[in-house]
Structure 1
Amino acid sequence: MARLTLENAWVEFPVSLRRMGAARASYTGGQIDAGRSVVTALRDISFELREGDRLGLMGHNGAGKTTMLRLLAGAYPPTRGRCISVGSISTLFNTTPGLNMDGTGRENLIICGLHLGLRRQEIISKMDEIIDFAELGNYIDLPVRIYSAGMMTRLGFSIATCVQPEILLLDEGLATGDARFTQKAEGKIKDLIARSSILVVASHSETMLANMCGRCLLLEHGRVISDGPAKTLFESYRKSVIESARADDSDGLQRAYALGMDMLSRGEKPPLDLEEQGLRYALGIHPDDAMMLQRYVNVLSEQGKSVPPEIETRMILSLLTRNPSRLDLKDRLRAILASSAADLPEDVRASAVAASGMEDAAQGRG
């Protein structure tokens, strides 16, 4: 019977802090202990998983999800507490363990398979199946140093998923190559999950966790702050994402965008406060996108929030680009310039003056 148990487990990394300046608050990463010169990546974690359990790990980047997977895999020993596993463990967060760049693809099938715990005879018996799945053709007998990134990913993924796992540890960041191969890979992962006795998956995706897991842990700075059914933790996770995004944390803004897009892909309407932060992230990349600017203004208005002059000005400018004859928009630009010109960046102010016709009027008076 497969089993995974953590008992008051800690993971700490010794670091040199001589070059570290004054302590600052961080929205990501583990806890820095300057007195002991260590970073605590995981702190006092306890749980038990038995046959049939499906556990999701949620949290911001740097919360400890990947460290948790590596602790469970045995890559990191606990610095305190215990990690007990019963059953074979397979990992899907590094598809090329033990890769030898000078070896051929076929030779690396054996090397990487041995790293994954397979016996040589098992690898040889699966060789044709793995080669067919990787779709490398004659390249399988050439050195992997000449492979493209996509070819190397296909080779590694094909090896990593040929195992028969009892305990499967999965990171959603696992790369699977080009779009066509990705479709094939998704089917392989689903089959692998179905055959595993215990699953632990780290993900930002509510869809993935809701579909796969009956239980989740919400991590923050290496601590478990919530433990329970996946659906009950989603709201807590959203709130933590929104709070970090409001504090202008770049990771929080990106996660707000990812969460909003994930909900839209399921046909769900994101909460306005989550959509607001996701749009802030998107507008940071595409600051003059007319549709996003209009939606951002609407989202703020629906929440009863004031619209920053710069945002409204950018929206009007984008609309005038498509329809320069709208006098109502030009009038509004003049009103913004009269009341809030000092709040606008120089380039936006100059564009607003030109688009509103104030520049022409000034020249006419001159």
Structure 2
Amino acid sequence: MVGLRVDGAWVEFPVPRGRRGAAHGHVGGQIDVERGVVTALGDVSLELREGDRLGLMGHNGAGKTTMLRLLAGAYPPTRGRITIIGRVSTLFNTTPGLNFDGTGRENLVSCALHLGLSRRQIKAKLDEIIDFAELGEYIDMPVRIYSAGMMTRLGFSIATAVEPEILLLDEGLATGDAQFARKAERRMKDLMSRASILVIASHSETMLANLCNRCLLLEHGRIIADGRPDTLIDNYRRSVVQLARESDPEGLHRAYVLATDMARLGEMPPLDLEEQGLRYALQINPDDQMMWQRYVQVISAQGRQVDQATEIRMILACLAVDSSRADLIHRLRALHRSGLDEMPSDLGERVNAVLAHIESARAG
């Protein structure tokens, strides 16, 4: 019987002298100035049984990695307790304690022992691991001469040789070049299917929805929601978009992080989420031509009218890249004739300056 239970667990770290008093921003846990600690995880309780597939959701710094390390035993709870029945296997990185002076074969044995395999298991899997790593004669050479890709292949091959009962997985696990990544993906799917219990931290909504039967949403080290992946994902996304629409700074930042993470993973962000993510990004890079064009496209795609100020800002960003665009100059003049009274004064001044510069250049 395999199982995992967490009862009221806390993970707290002391705050170095001179750094107390700063409240958390977009990331990180709660700072207790009086006690001089940062609460990375607070009052966490959960129970997992055989067959459970748990996804950990939340923005960067929400506590996902700390939760994995708590379950792995790397961070003992400062309060509360954890009860584990079964062998825990962790996949947090692809270089699990490599000794750069040792050979690939020597590292294979020492790292596999570190991951909990017995010498008998290592002997039985040795040829399979070596073949999978595709290192050829380099397996008997010092790891210090390996390229980054070779080290990744060796580490991944060792790390995924475990026989998992309770598998803790960080989605950020590197898998090397594209050809090896395809093989690694198949191996990861097989590994996850063989685990009795899986806990995975991921920014990919698609991955969590496909793999998990339950998700936890973390925020500043606390569980704020627990439920089915599809329901939790939809509710979280709606709450982020709503906060961003209200111009809440943290809501805008989360919309940006969520949208960019989805795009990085090859997923298309929903239009309402992408819109708010672009609003945040344009605060950082207010003259980015491509972002302004995409922002206008996203608004139009939702069946909404693009307001005058937004259109003007897009045109100005485009003209800054190519001032010869006659179509944009014509449109800017039309908007100028319609009156600038309803626009912010600084934007009106910019329009006047650009049009004056264009006229001056033509006259010259």
Do the two structures share a fold, i.e. TM-score over 0.5?
A: yes
Q: Report deviation, 1:25.
A: 4.8
Q: Which residue of 1 aligns with 2:234?
A: 235
**1:323–1:72 Cα change, 3 Å:** same
How far apart, CA to CA, are the structure 2 residues paired with 1:25 and 1:196?
A: 36
How far 1:260 moved relative to its partner?
5.3
- In structure 2, relative to structure 1, the CA distance for the partners of 1:74 and 1:140 (3 Å cut) is same
In structure 2, the residue matched to 1:313 is 315
Residues 227 and 141 of structure 1: CA distance in aligned 2, closer, same or farther (over 3 Å): same
Return the alpha-carbon distance in structure 1 between the equivalents of residues 239 and 114 of structure 2: 38
Aligned residue pair count: 356
- CA positional deviation for 1:64: 0.7
Classify 1:134/1:12 alpha carbon distance in 2 versus 1 (closer, same or farther; 3 Å).
same
Among 332, 343, 347, the residue aligned to 2:346:
343
Q: Tell me the equivalent position of 2:254.
A: 252
Q: Report the CA distance between 1:312 and its aligned residue.
A: 2.6
Q: 1:181 is matched with which residue?
A: 180
Matches within 5 A, 1:190-201: 190-201=189-200
2: CA distance between counterparts of 1:120 and 1:279? Answer: 53
Report the equivalent of 2:87. Answer: 88
Mark the runs of 5 or more structure 1 residues left unpaired by the alignment.
none
Distance 1:181-1:344 versus aligned 2 partners, 3 A rule: farther
CA–CA distance in 2 between the matches of 1:95 and 1:345?
54
* Change over 3 Å in CA distance of 1:19–1:79 after alignment to 2: closer
Task: Determine what percentage of the aligned residue pairs are the same residue.
Answer: 57
Structure 1 residue aligned with 2:2: 2
Amino acid aligned to 2:31: I
Give the match for residue 130 of structure 1.
Answer: 129
Where do 5+ consecutive residues of structure 2 fail to align?
none
| Greater mean deviation of Cα atoms: 119-128 or 333-342 | 333-342
- 2:37 and 2:65 map into 1 onto residues whose CA distance is 18
Contact 1:316 1:333 in 2 (8 A): no
Q: 2 CA distance for matches of 1:126 and 1:300?
A: 55
- Answer whether contact 1:13 1:39 (CA < 8 A) is retained: yes
Is the CA contact 2:289–2:314 (under 8 Å) kept in the aligned structure 1?
no
Q: Deviation of residue 138 (structure 1)? A: 1.7
Helix, strand or coil: the match of 1:117?
Answer: coil
Cα offset for 1:300?
4.0
- Matched with 1:69 is 68
**Mapped partners of 2:118, 2:266: distance in 1:** 45
CA distance change for structure 1 residues 313 and 35 in 2, over 3 Å: closer, same or farther? same
Could you tell me whether the CA contact under 8 Å between 1:54 and 1:212 is conserved in 2? yes
Q: Matches of 2:161 and 2:43 in 1, distance apart?
A: 34
Distance 1:222 1:244 in 2: 22
- Residues 167-218 of structure 1: per-residue CA shift (max 9 Å, x gap): 1111111111111111111100000011110000111111000000111110
Contact in 2 for aligned 1:134/1:154 (Cα 8 Å) = yes
Q: What is the CA–CA distance in structure 2 between the aligned matches of 1:94 and 1:329, rounded to whole Å?
A: 53
Please list the CA deviations of residues 135-173 of structure 1 after superposition, one character each: whole Å capped at 9, or x if unmatched.
112221111122222211111110010111011111111
Q: 2-side partners of 1:286 and 1:183: how far apart?
A: 39
8 A contact 2:315–2:332 mirrored in 1: no
Q: How does 1:44-123 map to 2 (within 5 A)?
A: 44-123=43-122
Quote the Cα distance in structure 2 between the aligned partners of 1:305 and 1:54. 43
Structure 2 CA distance for partners of 1:114 and 1:8, relative to 1, 3 Å: same
Give the whole-Å Cα distance in 2 for the aligned partners of 1:286 and 1:149: 37
- The Cα shift of 1:271 comes to 4.0
What amino acid maps onto 1:81 in structure 2?
Answer: G
TM-score (norm 1): 0.85
- Give the letter for the 1:149 counterpart: A
1:359 — aligned with what? 360
Matching of residue 294 in structure 1 with residue 297 in structure 2: no
CA contact (8 A) 2:55 2:199 kept: yes
Provide, for residues 61-120 of structure 1, a one-character-per-residue CA deviation record: whole Å limited to 9, x for no partner: 111111111111111111111111111111111222221111111111011101100112
Relative to structure 1, the CA distance from residue 358 to residue 10 in structure 2 (aligned partners, 3 Å threshold; closer, same or farther) is same
Are 2:24 and 2:31, in contact at CA under 8 Å, matched by a contact in 1? no
Aligned-pair Cα RMSD in Å: 3.2
Equivalent position SS for 2:198: strand
Paired residue secondary structure (1:72): helix
Paired residue for 2:159? 160
Distance 2:244 2:111 in 1: 40
Provide the residue aligned with 2:333 in structure 1.
331
- Aligned partners of 2:23 and 2:31 also within 8 Å: no
Amino acid corresponding to residue 258 of structure 1 in structure 2 = T
1:265 aligned onto 2:267: yes
Contact 1:61–1:251 (8 Å) recurs in 2: no
SS class of match (1:6): strand
* Cα offset, 1:316, TM superposition: 4.6
Q: Which amino acid aligns with 2:331?
A: L
Question: Does the aligned pair in 2 maintain the 1:133–1:158 contact within 8 Å?
Answer: yes
